[in-house]
Amino acid sequence: MKALYLRRVWPVLASAALVVGLAACSSGSSSSNTTTASSGPELTNITVGVLESSDDVTVQIAKDEGFFKQEGLNVKTVVLPTTNSATTGLLSHTLDFSTENYVGMFQQEKAVPTLNLKIVADNAQATPNLYVMMVAKNSPITSLAQLKGKKVSFPAKGFNFGSMASDILLQPYHESAASFTTVALPFSDAPQAVASGEVNAAFTTEPFITIMEEGGARILQDMMTGPLVDFPQDCWGTTAAFASKYPKTVAAFQRAMEMALRLAASNTPLVRTELSKFITTLSPKLASVITLPTFNTTLSLARMQRVANTEIRLGALPANFNVQAMYDPPAGT
């Protein structure tokens, strides 16, 4: 994914809180070039945080197809280790926009309400076998319930996309992610950890699912089943301060991303071609076979609320969590 590189929550909250004061005192941007044209964006140069994952390929499409240029934007991308790294970048003005994981983003907003993050565009939602639990080929484990007391790798500890999925799918067994011994490992380290026996299972996504299958590992469980079918996974965000100061820049970014998302949703061969450009370590052969997400062309408050409601039911968000305050769709939506 975003592979999805999931998305630490707690390790970054302290640093995010530290830069909230900076964000409150400064409305500047990492972009120094501005334009005075009344019809164009206030900023011509913007910096966008991305993950080297299949879903964030939409930024590469927007660049290669000239959608950003058409909107008067020159985009620099910065590769992030996790999407929660984006929040610190947004608040310290080293990023103007960034990929964000809905689950982790809502957790950060809950922990530090003054973050004032805004979601300006949707990006992708899960598809079957896009997020799975993997085990070694010769593992005796045949169900999630048998992972109780075992070592399971996730990209981060605490409540996140993977632990949320585990909590939900383990409910029939009266278990949860707390039943595992969580080992925090990047997705890229999971194949070797499973193969060596360092962990008994790994929550992972593409392209690592396909890489692990080629090495003999097998899928134990598709984690996007039952109530998690078509679950919203990620979006594009900025801060309320940036959106207020540079509304035309935000609108230009939204229009460019909408065009890129529409193209990605309708042209799978193009997506696979762009993937090997976007993720330089991904071979064209692998890009041609990995599972892709569903690309969403419109920002939906209902999809955002679905994520929040799921977290609320699990006790991970308060019942009065205000999703609408983070909703910043294109004008006229």
CATH number for the domain harbouring residue 65:
3.40.190.10
Same domain, 74 and 148: no
> What b-and-e string marks burial along 279-309, b requiring 16 or more CB atoms within 10 Å of the CB?
beebeeebbeebbbbebbbebbeebbbbbbe
Same domain, 167 and 86: no
Same domain, 18 and 142: no
pLDDT given for residue 151 in this prediction:
98
219 belongs to a structural domain: yes
4 belongs to a structural domain: no
Cα 298 to Cα 278: distance, rounded to the nearest angstrom: 23
pLDDT given for residue 187 in this prediction:
87
Same domain, 259 and 300: yes
pLDDT given for residue 7 in this prediction:
41
pLDDT given for residue 33 in this prediction:
60
Same domain, 235 and 184: no
287 belongs to a structural domain: yes
Which of 160, 195, 228 marks a domain boundary? Answer: 228
Same domain, 195 and 241: no
243 belongs to a structural domain: yes
Same domain, 135 and 224: yes
Burial of 214 (0-12, 13-18, 19+ CB in 10 A): exposed
Cα dihedral across residues 304, 95, 99, 170: positive or negative: negative
Same domain, 213 and 86: no
Tokens, residue 39: 């019809």
332 belongs to a structural domain: no
Which of 212, 228, 244 marks a domain boundary? Answer: 228
Same domain, 223 and 237: no
pLDDT given for residue 38 in this prediction:
61
* Each residue's pLDDT expressed in tens, for the chain with a length of 333 residues: 444 434 444 344 444 444 444 444 444 444 446 554 467 999 999 999 998 889 999 999 999 999 999 999 999 999 987 766 888 889 889 999 999 999 999 998 998 878 899 999 999 999 999 999 999 999 999 999 999 999 999 988 889 999 999 999 999 999 999 999 999 998 889 999 999 999 999 999 998 999 999 999 999 999 999 999 999 999 999 999 999 999 999 999 999 999 999 999 999 999 999 999 999 889 999 999 999 999 999 999 999 999 999 999 999 999 999 999 999 999 876
Omega prior to 207 cis, within 30 of 0: yes
Same domain, 24 and 95: yes
Collapsed DSSP state (helix, strand, coil) of residue 122: strand
**C-alpha triplet 317, 322, 323: angle, nearest 5°:** 90
**DSSP one-letter string for 200-216:** SEEEEETTHHHHHHHTT
pLDDT given for residue 21 in this prediction:
45
pLDDT given for residue 195 in this prediction:
96
Edge to edge, the sheet with strand 117-125 lists: 74-79, 45-50, 97-101, 232-239, 117-125, 294-295
pLDDT given for residue 91 in this prediction:
87
Query: Could you tell me the residue range of the domain that residue 245 belongs to?
Result: 10-125+231-326
199 belongs to a structural domain: yes
114 belongs to a structural domain: yes
69 belongs to a structural domain: yes
Collapsed DSSP state (helix, strand, coil) of residue 132: strand
Same domain, 147 and 218: yes
pLDDT given for residue 176 in this prediction:
95
For the chain, how many structural domains are there in total?
2
Same domain, 116 and 239: yes
